[in-house]
Amino acid sequence: MKFAKIPPATIGRLSVYTRHLQELTRQGVEIISSEKLASLCSVNPAQIRKDLAYFGEFGVRGVGYYVKDLLFEIRKILGLNKEWNLGIVGMGNLGTALIGHENFLKQGYRFVAAFDNDPTKFARALPNGLKVFDIKEVKRIKDEVGMEIGVITTPASRAQEVANRLVEAGIRGILNFAPVRIHVPANCEVEYVDFTIRLDSLTYRLSVED
């Protein structure tokens, strides 16, 4: 791939493009212009072309983009030409719901391990046949099942401690649902999903506009 440094926002938008390209594929649409795709994704058409230009030339001038080809190329850019193995820590309501959620599989993410620190949960059988292990065993299990990314769904107060364990076990990527920032070494990447933060943005806007 290219050696320019890519805006994080571009990467986020590439994901959005793939969601809508997938939908277009399902609808049988074969070709789409940056203008139409932009409208679906609620962005500026030039933004789409610019985002893609970081990685190469994927369109046909005067025509547009071949939906299937573009989808394939973007997924390759995002590293999604392989399946990724996820391990999840914190088997409360949310963790249990995520492990059974279709969207992960649809995008190429597979849960291969589940952890908690509550012994009463170790017996429980999960939807997809996984068993819940003690978080202390994360290193052993990680190597056994080839876990690559850790998903944290514990309460905020335990997130840092879990992150430490994951890092220690050699995990290089973490998706954190707990509503606090966590601190990890530079060789480990973290992304955050905090739905109450998004709600706060909403309430801010709703409060201001009146």
Q: Which residues bind its own copies (CB under 8 A)?
A: 1, 8, 11-12, 14-16, 18-20, 23, 40-42, 77-80, 84, 93-94, 96-98, 100-104, 106-107, 109, 148-149, 155-157, 172-175, 177, 179-181, 183, 189, 191-208
Q: Which stretch binds DNA (CB under 7 A): 15-23, 33-41, 104-112, 153-161?
A: 33-41
Give Cβ neighbours of residue 116 (< 8 Å, ≥ 6 apart).
89, 90, 91, 95, 122, 132, 133, 134, 135
- Rounded to an integer, what distance in angstroms lies between the CA atom of residue 6 and that of residue 16? 16
Strands 109-116 and 31-32, how do they pair?
unpaired
DSSP of 76-94: HHTT-SS-EEEEEE--SHH
List the single partner that 79 binds among DNA, its own copies, none, CB under 5 to 8 Å by kind.
its own copies
- Using the 8-state DSSP alphabet, how is residue 56 labeled? -
Find tokens 């109450």 and name the residue.
Answer: 196
- Rounded to an integer, what distance in angstroms lies between the CA atom of residue 141 and that of residue 133? 8
- Contact with DNA (CB under 7 A) among 16, 41, 49, 117: 49
List the single partner that 126 binds among DNA, its own copies, none, CB under 5 to 8 Å by kind.
none
- Contact with DNA (CB under 7 A) among 23, 25, 30, 60: 60
Q: What stretches of 54-124 show up as alpha helix (H) in DSSP? A: 67-77, 93-99, 102-107
Task: Kindly tell me which of 135 and 184 has the beta carbon lying closer to its own copies.
Answer: 184
List the single partner that 88 binds among its own copies, DNA, none, CB under 5 to 8 Å by kind.
none
List the single partner that 97 binds among DNA, its own copies, none, CB under 5 to 8 Å by kind.
its own copies
Minimal distance, residue 48 CB to its own copies, in Å: 13
List the single partner that 200 binds among its own copies, DNA, none, CB under 5 to 8 Å by kind.
its own copies
- Rounded to an integer, what distance in angstroms lies between the CA atom of residue 166 and that of residue 3? 30
Strands 173-176 and 189-192, how do they pair?
parallel
Q: Is 34 in the site for DNA (CB under 7 A)?
A: yes
Contact of 142 with 87, CB cutoff 8 Å: yes
List the single partner that 33 binds among its own copies, DNA, none, CB under 5 to 8 Å by kind.
DNA
The binding site for DNA (CB under 7 A) comprises 1, 5, 7-10, 32-35, 43-47, 49-50, 52-53, 57-65
